[in-house]
Every structure is written in C-alpha cells, then in structure tokens.
Structure 1
Amino acid sequence: MPVAASRKEAPAAIRVDLAAIFVSLELSRSKWLITSLSPGAGEKMSKHIVAGSDVPALLARFAELQRKAKARTGRSFRMVSVQEAGLDGFWIHRILEREGIESYVVDPASIATSRRRRRAKTDKIDGEALVRALLAYKRGEPRVCAMLRVPTPEEEDRRRLVRERKALTNERVRHVNRVKGLLFGQGISGYEPLRRDRRKRLDDLATGDGRPLPAALKAQISRELDRIELLIEQIKQVEAERDLMLAAASASSPAPALLLNLRGVGPEFGAILWSEGLSRQFDNRRQVAAYAGLAPTPWQSGQVDRDQGVSKAGNPRLRTTLVQLAWLWVRHQPDSELSRWFKARVTKNEGRYKKSTIVALARKLFVALWKYINAGVVIEGAVMSA
C-alpha cells in the first residue's frame, strides 16, 4: 500500500497514546450539545443534542460512543469530557466523575478565539473549539487553556455566608437610599433610617415648607423601614452563623484564628479571606496573586513595553476585600514592613499614584498572609490583637 494512502486512512486528529473519546458539552437551559471525537473515526467530529438537564440521555449517549468506538477498533476507550464554567455550576461535573468519566471544567476566557472584528460564533463552533482545547491540554501543551480546580460541596457551602451577607448589605443600602431620596424630595435631609429611633423621628418629620408628611408618603416610608428592619435581623443571623463557621474551621485548621489575631482583620474580612482564598491550595506566590486577579498584565511588542495594570481575572470578592484591607492595614499596622514600603513609595512619587500603589500593597499583603498561615512566616512588624 502506498505511504500516502496509509497516512490518509490513519486518524490524524487523535494520538494513539491518548486512547480516549474526547467530548465537549455546550450547556443551555433548553438543550445540551454533545460534540465528540472518537478513535477510528478520522478527523470528523460528531454532534448530538439532548434535552437540557437530561442526565440519563447524556450518559446513554456516552455509552453509545464507547460502543461504536469498540466496534470500529476492537478496543475499549475511556471518556474525557470538558465543559465551560458558567451558571450551571459544577453539579454536572460531579455526576460525570461519579460515573467514572474523566471530567474537566475550563475557564472560557482562557480559550483562544479569532481576533477578527466579526467572528462567527455558534454552539457548533464553540463545541469543536472545546474539543480541540481538551486535546491540546491532554497532550501537555502549555498555556492552551486554564482548567478550574472544582471546589467541593463543603467549600462551596462555606462561601455562601459571606456572599449572602454582602447581598443583604447591598439590599439594605438600596432601601436606605430610597428612604432618603423620598424625604429629600420633600425638603428633608439628615434622617438616618438605620438609627434605633427611626420610627419616632419619622413621626416628628415635617416637609421643607412646614407641612406634616403626606399620609401616602409616610405609609410608603414605613413599609421601607419594615424591609430595613427585616434585613437588619437577617444580617445579624448571618453574622452569627459566620462566627460559628469560623469557630468550627479554627478547630480543624489554625488559619482562621491566625488571621483574626492580626490587628485590623475582623470577623468579616477574616471569613472572606479564609473562605474565598486562603483555604485553597497554591503552589507559589504567582498563583496566589493570579487567583485574586492582582497579577500584573504586561504589554510588550517590539519597542513597546508597558504595564496594563492588574489582570482582574480572579475572584472579584476577594480582590475588593484585599484592597479595602490594604487601606486598613496602613492605618492599623503603621509600623509593619508593608506599611513602611507603601509610605516610602507614595513619598517618592510625591503623593501621586496612591491608588495603584495600594493595589500593589494588596498583592504583597495577600502573599504575606498566605505565607503566614501556611508556613508560619510572621509579617515583619505586624502587631497582634490584644
């Protein structure tokens, strides 16, 4: 047989040493698109649609792919699946792993796409791109995509308290601003809906032109105060559960207690730092900064060499908390090495670039906290709480 003919018949898209059926899942609420590439089928990718959330149909399709691959080659092949991280969470990934299927969840922003102004985008194209990215990842090609480390159900549940408190706090702010806006339209300022005497002060209010509050407006504000009081009670409940969570975590790991021992780190910041970031496993300080989205983003081409700022590609809640903590660190830990570094940089720049310098301090602080709770490296000059 000629050499060219043998090359044409060989499955060029799959390497023999991988020995697997590669599958990508494009998930939506109404349907799931399954794109697969099997040994012995050449370079053509097959596509199949099942109804959304129909897990039995998905597993049946996987079994059918394995049966066809065995009929073609006489060998059994394992399944390797990939899906994008999104609103579906990780429950599908957990089902696949429970069924013995090698499953991955990829960061969709890490997959290379066309840079044309108008690029074609369909579920079919995205499914094929996912399969190609999975193939390259399994071949060991560097930086082809970023696979997520899927959290355990316990880790996911541990994050909910601090996230729920943030949502409740934002909702409380909206109701407080609505009450102030309604009163400002009547010429009234200085009323604080969060004070304990809010009901009594509401009865004593008068409009800017000396009239008592209109009945409908007073009733509307009273209902807003009902919502605010409910939110205040719910925030107290969440904070109590958060403190219990920190106490339980401190019993199994010293990290939460170590964080709370630092002056300037309270229960809320300690819970966010622990549940959102420091409870994870990192190999080096670059991974620590990248997870928080505080890693620098260079732009270098030819003679152009500049910094675009931080990547903002990590955990946004953790990044916001770290920047806030950096400001508090300068105030409550003025004699620490990190605070002295910040003040020296600001002085050198004659007070300019203070915001960008505080972000750099947040990155240094997060790395220092990671070393502190994992290796016991005490932050130089840091003062512990009484």
Structure 2
Amino acid sequence: RRRRRVKTDKIDGEALTRTLLAFKRGEPRVCAMVRAPSHEDEDRRRICRERKVLIAERVRHVNRVKGLLFAQGVSGYQPLRKDRRLRLEELCTGDGRGLPKHLKAQINRELDRLELLLEQIAAVESERNSLLSVHERLASEAPAPAMLLTLKGVGAEFAAVLWTEALCRHFDNRRQIAAYAGLAPTPWMSGTIDHEQGVSKAGNPRLRTTMIQLSWLWLRNQPASALSRWFVDRVQSNGGRLKKAAIVALARKLLIALWKFVTAGVVIEGAVMKTA
C-alpha cells in the first residue's frame, strides 16, 4: 500500500504550506529551520578542515614508509624526525644487507611528499594562529576564541574548531547546541521497553569528534573541576565500567558549559585558567 500512495507536486506543496503556517503560528516541533552561516563564518571553517585533511594524509605517508621498511625487517624508523634522510642512509635490512636501490628511491619520494605536507601543515597552522590572535585582540567583537584560550587544556586547534564549527552560531538553549553536535540522547520507549539508544550522531561530526577528544584532555588538565569529579564518581559507581558512555555524557556537559562560558560568562566550576 505504501507504493500506491498518491504523490503529486500539488499535495507536496499543500503539505509544505500547512507546515509553514503552523510554524508561523508558533506551534512547537512542527519543523526545524536551517540557519545558514555567513560567508565569513563558512570561510573560516576551511582552515581547521584543511588541517584535518592534511594530518590524515601525513598519517598515510608515515604508515606507508614504515610498512615498506617493516617488510624488509626494519623497525624503529621515524619519518617525522628531522634527520629522516640521514637515518635512511644508515638503515640495513633484517639480514644485514643495505636497503635495495629501488626501495630507497621509493621511500625518498614518499619523504618528498611528506615534507611537502609538513610545510603545508605549518602554513595552515600559522594562518590559524594569526586568525586567533587577530580575534583575541578584538575580543569585544568575537570573544569566543580569546575566552577559550584562557582555559587550561584548551589549545589553539581546539579553540579554533569550537569557535568556527559551533560557538560562532546562535543557539537558544542547551538542547539546541547538544543536538547540533549530535550529542543529544535518543530514548526508546514503547510499552514496557524503556532504554537509551545512545547519542543521535545527527549533528556536526567534526564538532562531536573534537568534544570527545577535549573531554579526555579535560580530565587530565582539569581534574579538580566539577565536571571531572562528576565523571569520576559516575565511573566509580559503575565499578569502573562504561567509561566510553560516560565520556560522551561528559562531552555533552562540557560543550554546554563552554557555550555558557563564552556567551554568558558563566565560569565552569573548579576550572583552572592559564597563567599569564
């Protein structure tokens, strides 16, 4: 019967019109309106996104070099060290022979590409730092970067991602920003069934990944904060289990706390600021 449902442009247009009228009347949960970012906000995102792509490419080249050498019985070589070329000439295979000529040429070409990537990553990070420094001087216009950088454990990359991906936008309440990051809960309640399915993962994946990483670092750099104490108590009450579920919950709480800190100036309880 589903395939025999009538579908025409007239019916779709009438449904959209009814939805729009209900939204204008103020009815809740009728639809969600997209708030497109400005051209400047969208362009600023490219810096952190490009860096993430370059980092992934760097990992692939490093693993490729290590894999080629491991096939010859060589381990312990670090392609990211500055003396990578000199150490390559000193390497020997597992049976004591020198590296084959064509293999060494292939690794040198991989190192050429790796060095180009390192230069590009440095250029992108320099551009990111200059952007943050400019907005740090103009804190009255964009206070988010400057305020985030005052927290211990929040570096330039985390501050840039949080600012460009989330905190440059307007949110009405904590539920909106949690849903935007994909950290909103998805309950399953039907009859006698009542359990959680985890987070929705329907929001910004870059912001969600960054918040998970920042949550682990927050536990290390801010152990005396109220959020860290809540995480420790929650894990201990479960006998040391369910750390992954608890860290996701901490990421949601931390994102909301950072949003309140940037927008309303509400200081996170127990948080330590960086020394000048």
Are residue 381 (structure 1) and residue 273 (structure 2) matched?
no
After superposition, residues 83-98 of structure 1 pair within 5 angstroms as none
Q: Secondary structure of 1:206's match?
A: coil
Query: How far has the Cα of 1:158 moved from its partner?
Result: 0.7
Are residue 306 (structure 1) and residue 192 (structure 2) matched?
no
- Counterpart residue number, 2:74: 188
Alpha-carbon contact 1:335-1:382 (below 8 Å) kept: yes
Instruction: Give the root-mean-square deviation of aligned CA atoms.
Output: 2.0
Are residue 258 (structure 1) and residue 147 (structure 2) matched?
yes
Query: How far has the Cα of 1:133 moved from its partner?
Result: 5.2
Q: Secondary structure of 1:159's match?
A: helix
- Counterpart residue number, 2:177: 288
- Counterpart residue number, 2:21: 139
**2:247 aligned residue (338, 346, 358):** 358
CA distance in 2, matches of 1:184, 1:127: 61
- Counterpart residue number, 2:257: 368
- Counterpart residue number, 2:210: 321
Query: How far has the Cα of 1:178 moved from its partner?
Result: 0.5
| Richer in strand (by share) | 1
Q: TM-score, normalised by structure 1?
A: 0.66
CA distance in 1, matches of 2:153, 2:11: 47
The amino acid of 1:162's aligned partner reads C
Alpha-carbon contact 1:136-1:144 (below 8 Å) kept: no
**1:245 aligned residue (131, 143, 146):** 131
- Counterpart residue number, 1:174: 60
Q: Percent identity?
A: 65
CA distance in 2, matches of 1:132, 1:191: 66
- Counterpart residue number, 2:162: 273
Are residue 149 (structure 1) and residue 149 (structure 2) matched?
no
Query: How far has the Cα of 1:253 moved from its partner?
Result: 1.8
Question: 1:93-141: CA deviations, max 9, x gaps?
Answer: xxxxxxxxxxxxxxxxxxxxx9x7xx69xxxx69778645532331225
Q: Secondary structure of 2:270's match?
A: coil
Alpha-carbon contact 1:261-1:385 (below 8 Å) kept: yes
Q: Secondary structure of 1:140's match?
A: helix
Q: Secondary structure of 2:102's match?
A: helix
CA distance in 1, matches of 2:208, 2:65: 31
- Counterpart residue number, 2:229: 340
The amino acid of 1:195's aligned partner reads R
CA distance in 2, matches of 1:283, 1:272: 20
Query: How far has the Cα of 1:288 moved from its partner?
Result: 1.1
CA distance in 2, matches of 1:129, 1:227: 56
- Quick one: structure 1 residues 132 and 335, their matched pair in 2 at CA, closer, same or farther if it must change by over 3 Å? farther
Alpha-carbon contact 1:133-1:144 (below 8 Å) kept: no
Q: Which runs of 5+ in 2 are unaligned?
A: none
Question: 1:296-345: CA deviations, max 9, x gaps?
Answer: 00111111111101000110000000000000001000000000000000
Are residue 159 (structure 1) and residue 41 (structure 2) matched?
no
**2:85 aligned residue (199, 203, 207):** 199
CA distance in 1, matches of 2:261, 2:198: 26
- Quick one: structure 1 residues 188 and 129, their matched pair in 2 at CA, closer, same or farther if it must change by over 3 Å? farther
Alpha-carbon contact 1:322-1:366 (below 8 Å) kept: yes
Query: How far has the Cα of 1:211 moved from its partner?
Result: 1.2
Asked which structure has the greater CA Rg, the reply is 1
Query: How far has the Cα of 1:147 moved from its partner?
Result: 2.9
Query: How far has the Cα of 1:207 moved from its partner?
Result: 0.8
Figure out how many residues of one structure are paired with residues of the other and give that number: 267
Question: 1:136-163: CA deviations, max 9, x gaps?
Answer: 3312254344332111111110100000
- Counterpart residue number, 2:112: 226
The amino acid of 2:205's aligned partner reads P
Q: Secondary structure of 2:198's match?
A: strand
